[in-house]
Structures are given as C-alpha cells and as structure tokens.
C-alpha cells in the first residue's frame, strides 16, 4: 500500500466523491472539483459549494499500462480528465469500454464504482467512474 489504510479518510471524503461536490467561484466564474474554500484560478474566497452534473465529455484520456502497486491487478485501465456539462474537470476512470472505442470529446456519464481496496482486510473505496453514453454518438 502506498497510502494509509484509513477508514476515517474514506469516510471524510465520501460525500465529495460519491456526489461530486465541487465549487463555483463567484469572482472569476471557474467551476472546479473537488470543493475547497479558495478558487484555484483567482484565489477568491467567494466560492459556492455545488453538486456537479454527472454528465460530460472526455477531455483527454490515456491507458495506464504500468500502474501503482494498489492498481497493479487492474492494468491496463483507462484514466481521463472528464469535462462536465458546467465546465468542471474531474480526474476519473473510464469504465465499460475498451480504449479503441474511445475518443476525445465523447459524451460520458458518471456511475458509482469500486476504485481501490485497502488490502485484504481493509475497506473498499468507491467513487464515480464515467462510461460512454450509449446512443449519443
């Protein structure tokens, strides 16, 4: 394991990760993920907490063929920056698709899936992955 086996950490992040809680800066308009008190673009504290849309498009994707230890058993798998309908960008895995079926700009939708496991005896961490939206090509 490369990170702490921690139940409190997974619990603390559950709402942000399951519902995609982000922020909108009222000063410069940037919409971002995850939520934090200060805008990553302009530094303003005038940030509104919002639930992000679960639909968007693949901005850029790649295939991880040499994975970190805790993801080794899943390689190869697809990771991407997904641009949601309101402009927020989320780092996430793409699921239910092979790399050859994907292209940048393709519409995707979020689904709750397993991400990583805290070892044999630890908890399983879940989060939103994205899959191609069928019939919208």
Partner 1 sequence: MGKVVLAGIGATPIGEHWEKSLRDLMVEAALKALEDAGVEKNVVEAIFVGNMSSGYLQGQEHIGSLLATWLGIPGVAACKVEAACASGGAAFHNAFTAVKSGVYDCALALGVEKMTDAPTEYVTSALIMADDQEYTAFAGFSFVALNALVYKAYMEKYGARQEDIALFAVHDHEHAVHNPLAQYRRAVTLDAVLSSPLVADPIHLLECAPTGDGAAAALICSEEKARELGLTPEVEVAASTLATDVLSLHDRDDLTTLQATVRAAKKAYRMAGIGPEDVDIVELHDAFTILGVIHLEDLGFAKKGEGWKLVKEGEIEPGGKIPANLMGGLKARGHPVGATGLYEIYDVATQLLGRAGKNQVEGAEIGLAQNVGGVGGTVAVTILRRMR
Q: Which does 2 bind (CB under 5 to 8 A by kind): partner 1, Zn ion, none?
A: partner 1
Q: Report the nearest approach of partner 1 to the CB of residue 97 (Å).
A: 14
Judged by CB under 5 A, the residue of 5, 6, 9, 27 near Zn ion is 27
Site string for partner 1, 34-73 (x = CB under 8 A): x-----xx------------------xxxxxxxxxxxxx-
Angle value at C-alpha 80, between 76 and 86, nearest 5 degrees: 160
Which stretches within 1-137 are classed as H helix?
A: 7-12, 14-19
Which residues have CB under 8 Å from 34's CB, separation 6+? 16, 17, 21, 22, 23
Nearest distance, CB of residue 3 and partner 1, angstroms? 6
* Three-class DSSP category at 46: coil
Cα separation of 127 and 19, whole Å? 9
- The entry of Zn ion, partner 1, none near residue 84 (CB within 5 to 8 angstroms by kind) is none
Q: Pick from 21, 50, 79, 97: which binds partner 1 (CB under 8 A)?
A: 79
List the 21-25 sheet strands across, edge first: 31-32, 21-25, 47-51
Task: Tell me the C-alpha distance between 51 and 118, whole Å.
Answer: 27
Chain residues binding partner 1 by CB under 8 A are 2-3, 9, 13, 17, 32-34, 40-41, 60-72, 74, 77, 79, 81, 89-93, 99, 104, 115-116, 125, 127
Chain residues binding Zn ion by CB under 5 A are 25, 27-28, 30, 39, 41-42, 44
């Amino acid at each position: 394991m490369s990170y702490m086996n921690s139940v409190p950490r997974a619990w603390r992040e559950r709402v942000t990760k399951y519902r995609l809680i982000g922020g909108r800066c009222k000063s410069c308009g940037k919409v971002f993920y995850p939520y934090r008190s200060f805008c990553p673009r302009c530094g303003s504290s005038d940030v509104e907490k919002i639930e992000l849309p679960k639909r968007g498009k693949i901005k850029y994707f790649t295939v991880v063929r040499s994975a970190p230890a805790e993801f080794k058993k899943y390689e190869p798998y697809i990771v991407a920056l997904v641009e949601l309908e309101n402009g927020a960008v989320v780092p996430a895995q793409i699921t239910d698709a092979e790399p050859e079926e994907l292209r940048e700009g393709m519409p995707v939708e979020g689904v709750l899936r397993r991400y990583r496991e805290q070892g044999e005896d630890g908890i399983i961490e879940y989060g939103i992955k994205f899959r191609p939206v069928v019939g919208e090509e």
